[in-house]
Amino acid sequence: MALTGLQIYKLLPKTNCGDCNFPTCMAFAMQVAAKKVPLDQCPHVSEEAKAQLAEASAPPMRLVCIGNDENKLEIGQETVLFRHKEKFYHPTGVAILLEDSLTDEELDKEVSYLNQLKFTRVGEKISIDLVALKHKSTTAEEYAQLTEKITKKTSLPLILICQDPSIVEVALKVIGGRRPLVYSANRENFKKMASLAREYNCPLAVYAESLEELADLTQEIKSLGVNDLVLDPGTRKTGDALNSLTKLRRLAVEKVFRPLGYPTMMFTSEEDPFQEIAQAATYICKYASIVVIRAKGKWQILPLLTVRQNIYTDPQVPNTVEVKLYEIGPVTPDSPVIVTTNFSLTYFTVESEVENSKVPTYISVVDTEGLGVLNAYAGDKWSPEKIAKTLEQQKVRERINHNTIIIPGLVAVFRAELIDEFGWNVLVGPEEAARIPSFLKNEWKSGDKK
């Protein structure tokens, strides 16, 4: 039974020292009770109190780690149903499904391809996270050999998809040290699967076709000494799966129902390649910790990873880049100067279009508190005065032998003041970043620079 804030407070030092980043012990206790901060954020709590508070301070959803090196994937430990309340912490792992019918050559090709499914978006590297190998027709030895080949070719963590413990056992003897996720334990095989998971210290996926059965199974498996579990509620149609995943998240984080307080996984079932990605994106939004897909085209993976990136950013923290003068390419004193905001999406869009133009360019980033061009203007977060001050702080005049800056077309209204009040020559750039290359090649080169 979870403790109340008051019960937790009684066990704290009550010195109100503030070392936990909360002004009082009571404020900290309330946050611990709400599962929003871990107890160890207070460095002064006694061992005795820790033991008493362990249950209250444990996150409502267990953190599960798959893999054992720097490419390990951590999932779970979410605390809220809606990201506007706090944020989601551990991004959904995207697993690509391979089958054991692949020849050696095909497997090599597939895994090499998966290794380079990496992208850079708004300055962040995004990639797939897992390879899932489904057992269909091979012998135990052949399946084990395939898993070994995969582990030699990639550092991505693995999911072993096989319900036969005797086959899983042979594979674990070979690659157990890589801590794959074993999928799955069910009502028939859970004792043997739990024994293997315990012996090889691997996380174990649990499959059942109802939440009641899932809760019973997790309790039985836990009593066998396996704690790192991942739940598959067995539903495959999008609506049913969404329903199950939402119920699981609600029971875990709102009701703190420990038997279902584990990360979840879901498989796509749509045959149409567009529908499959839409289905996977739905599961990323609500609330799969792992989504296993067959799709692997770059045109499918990039939008899926983009959805994940958007969902797993902190909605309360603006996505910003450092406020400074950036040099894109081998700039010279003749190079153009583009002014933009510190909203990262805006900056990286401008930066990539400048790179496309092949025109070495300075980008002067102004602090707009993480807002894009129009929002910053509407919210009074930037102005001609602020731009002029930023250019001065960044010593732009000392870097160039002209006096011209390019401002976004959406704030053309700044032009007159920047000219009259601050002495800059101002070119009004395009409204859309996509037009930056042609602007730099044509209008900048022939523009009236002073």
Binding-site entries: 17, 20, 25, 42, 340, 346, 370-373, 433
Residue type, position 139, single letter: T
> CB of residue 57 vs ligand SF4: minimum separation in angstroms?
12
> CB of residue 248 vs ligand SF4: minimum separation in angstroms?
32
Residue bearing tokens 């391809």: 113
> CB of residue 44 vs ligand SF4: minimum separation in angstroms?
5
**String marking each residue 405-424 x if it binds ligand SF4 according to CB under 6 A:** --------------------
Q: Which of 378, 375, 385 is nearest to 417 (CA)?
A: 385
> CB of residue 10 vs ligand SF4: minimum separation in angstroms?
12
Q: Please tell me whether residue 438 binds ligand SF4 under the rule CB under 6 A.
A: no
Q: Residue 263, Cβ neighbours under 10 Å: how many?
A: 30
Q: Please tell me whether residue 20 binds ligand SF4 under the rule CB under 6 A.
A: yes
Q: Please tell me whether residue 38 binds ligand SF4 under the rule CB under 6 A.
A: no
- # of chain residues touching ligand SF4 (CB under 6 A): 13
Chain positions 42 to 71 lying near ligand SF4, rule: CB under 6 A, are 42, 44
Chain positions 281 to 340 lying near ligand SF4, rule: CB under 6 A, are none
Q: Please tell me whether residue 16 binds ligand SF4 under the rule CB under 6 A.
A: yes
Among 25, 130, 131, 363, binds ligand SF4 (CB under 6 A): 25
From 7-15, 326-334, 381-389, 397-405, span contacting ligand SF4 (CB under 6 A): 7-15
From 19-27, 316-324, 368-376, 410-418, span contacting ligand SF4 (CB under 6 A): 19-27
Q: Which of 262, 292, 289 is nearest to 280 (CA)?
A: 292
CA-to-CA distance for 399 and 332, rounded, in angstroms?
8
Contacts by 409-413 with C-beta closer than 8 Å and gap 24+? 410/373, 410/374, 410/377, 411/373, 411/374, 411/377, 411/382, 413/377
Among 6, 18, 38, 416, binds ligand SF4 (CB under 6 A): 18
Residue 99 in tokens: 């089958």
Q: Taking a C-beta distance cutoff of 8 angstroms, is the pair 312, 318 a contact? A: no
> CB of residue 25 vs ligand SF4: minimum separation in angstroms?
3
> In DSSP terms, which residues pair with 95 in a beta bridge?
130, 292
* Torsion, Cα of 71, 87, 340, 120 (10° steps): 20
Q: Which residues are annotated as a binding site for [4Fe-4S] cluster?
A: 17, 20, 25, 42
Residue type, position 285, single letter: C
Strand-strand pairing, 124-127 and 118-121 = antiparallel
Q: Taking a C-beta distance cutoff of 8 angstroms, is the pair 56, 7 a contact? A: yes
> CB of residue 420 vs ligand SF4: minimum separation in angstroms?
54
Among 2, 5, 7, 13, binds ligand SF4 (CB under 6 A): 13
Q: Annotate 24-76 with DSSP letters as a single string.
A: SHHHHHHHHHTTSS-GGGSTT--HHHHHHHHHHHS-SS-EEEESSSTT-EEEE
In the complex with ligand SF4, which residue's Cβ is closer, 15 or 401?
A: 15
> CB of residue 104 vs ligand SF4: minimum separation in angstroms?
57
Among 6, 17, 51, 412, binds ligand SF4 (CB under 6 A): 17
Residues recorded for the chain: 450
Among 8, 11, 28, 292, binds ligand SF4 (CB under 6 A): 28
In the complex with ligand SF4, which residue's Cβ is closer, 41 or 404?
A: 41
Q: Taking a C-beta distance cutoff of 8 angstroms, is the pair 265, 289 a contact? A: yes
Q: Which of 133, 145, 132 is nearest to 100 (CA)?
A: 133
> CB of residue 48 vs ligand SF4: minimum separation in angstroms?
15
In the complex with ligand SF4, which residue's Cβ is closer, 41 or 163?
A: 41
Among 3, 8, 11, 22, binds ligand SF4 (CB under 6 A): 22
Residue type, position 198, single letter: R
The residue ranges that bind ligand SF4 (CB under 6 A) are 12-13, 15-20, 22, 25, 28, 42, 44
